[in-house]
Amino acid sequence: MLKCTACGRAYSLRKPYQRCECGEPLELELFKSVPRIGKRVWERFSGFFPFELNPELSLGEGDTALIKAKRLSKELGVKLYLKNETTNPTWSFKDRGTYLGIHRALQLGFKKIGTVSTGNMAASVAAYGAYSGLETYILVSSTIAEEKLKALEVYGAKVIKVRGDYGELYYRSLEIGRRKGIYFINSDDPFRIEGYKSISFEIAEEVTPDYVLVPTSSGGLFRGIVKGFLELKESDLIEKLPTFVAVQAEGCSPICKAFIEGEKKIEPFENPHTIAHAIENPYPPSGNAVLRLLKELNGLCITVSDEEILDAQMSLGSEGVFVQPASATGIAALRKLFERKIEENAKVVSVLTGSGLKTLSHVKAGEIMECSLEKLEECMR
């Protein structure tokens, strides 16, 4: 059974319902189970997923490293862990959700899938669509940089540039999908959320965090991570929930704005502008759902500037991880939390959502030394 995150109305699982008539996203119930022994997170937590997962549809997503951040831990007086999602098959956490979404599309008998995205989710859906032999439609904004389209061509997806309101495209794609038999695995599809839960399971296998920092755009990832921890708690596998911290870019922070102003609903964010393009959704489809979770669970919403983001990106580089700007926002937010006093030695997990190789042009090129072969030893003094 699918249930509305806002009004609680129930919907059958036999049809491809994705959103409630009231406009808000749907969600599966909380699963209660026990972990098993297994090589992959999908096996160890198989009791927490809505159907049996088929390894033949997998490109090897999940089971990413949780890295101890040595320098940043020392600097900030906390125990900081980095959940490195950059090592997923298409270099972002989106693959976990796409893997579940593909199962859902096949279960319902769809032969075609799609998504609305400008970046990481497009690449992810294109790759999994190719691997599972489904016809794949990727709808992008007409202003997209050509560079981003290349990967999609490699995977053989049908890419369509759409002129018009990009926020509206999300809703239109669901309508068109219903008519044309295309299952759109969009940003906060109920089954995408189910895939994202696996991040929480993996974290909990290694540490019991006090804080979890989540870069937040549509709100799908945040909802998935919260649902994962709620299920662990319901199953008596953890004693207490961490404080969930949604992090947004100052230049596009519709959720934090509503949260700080005590509003019940988000409003479209005017003139969004940030270097963190992967989290630049001005009217997030799960914004209201995230807002509710933040209030219910005493979460925090923190905004960070582009400058703070780029600094954080460099700090992560010094820990040996290269992330894209959107993924550095958690560390930028942690610096702010630190100023407001976070308990000493608090255990903090920052989710590093995607790889920096996708946004190379944002990295400031430093000066590079040049030297002749003869003088090389001298140069290296």
Ligand X SMILES: *Cc1c(COP(=O)(O)O)cnc(C)c1O
Q: Which stretch binds ligand X (CB under 6 A): 75-83, 218-226, 257-265, 336-344?
A: 218-226
Task: Measure the CA angle with vertex 264, ends 262 and 269; round to 5°.
Answer: 85
Closer to ligand X by Cβ: residue 16 or 195: 195
**DSSP-derived 3-state class of residue 185:** coil
**DSSP-derived 3-state class of residue 11:** strand
Tokens of 282: 């001005």
Q: Which of residues 91-110 bind ligand X (CB under 6 A)?
A: 92, 94
C-alpha to C-alpha distance for 335 and 331, rounded to whole angstroms: 6
Q: Which of residues 321-340 bind Zn ion (CB under 5 A)?
A: none
Considering only 58, 327, 350, 359, the residue that binds ligand X (CB under 6 A) is: 327
C-alpha to C-alpha distance for 352 and 66, rounded to whole angstroms: 10
Binding mask 9-48 for Zn ion (x = CB under 5 A): x----------x-x-x------------------------
The site partner of 20 among ligand X, Zn ion, none (C-beta below 5 to 8 Å per kind) is Zn ion
CA-nearest of 276, 293, 281, 167 to 223 is 293
Binding mask 55-94 for ligand X (x = CB under 6 A): -------------------------------------x-x
Considering only 98, 132, 200, 324, the residue that binds ligand X (CB under 6 A) is: 324
Min dist. Cβ of residue 348 to ligand X (A): 18
**DSSP-derived 3-state class of residue 66:** strand
C-alpha to C-alpha distance for 276 and 145, rounded to whole angstroms: 15
Q: Which stretch binds Zn ion (CB under 5 A): 7-15, 210-218, 260-268, 363-371?
A: 7-15
Considering only 226, 252, 279, 312, the residue that binds ligand X (CB under 6 A) is: 279
Pair 85, 199: CB distance under 8 Å: yes
Min dist. Cβ of residue 230 to Zn ion (A): 19
| Helix H or strand E segment including 248 | strand 243-249
Q: Which residues pair with 215 in a beta bridge?
A: 247
**DSSP-derived 3-state class of residue 48:** helix
Closer to Zn ion by Cβ: residue 25 or 354: 25
The site partner of 174 among Zn ion, ligand X, none (C-beta below 5 to 8 Å per kind) is none
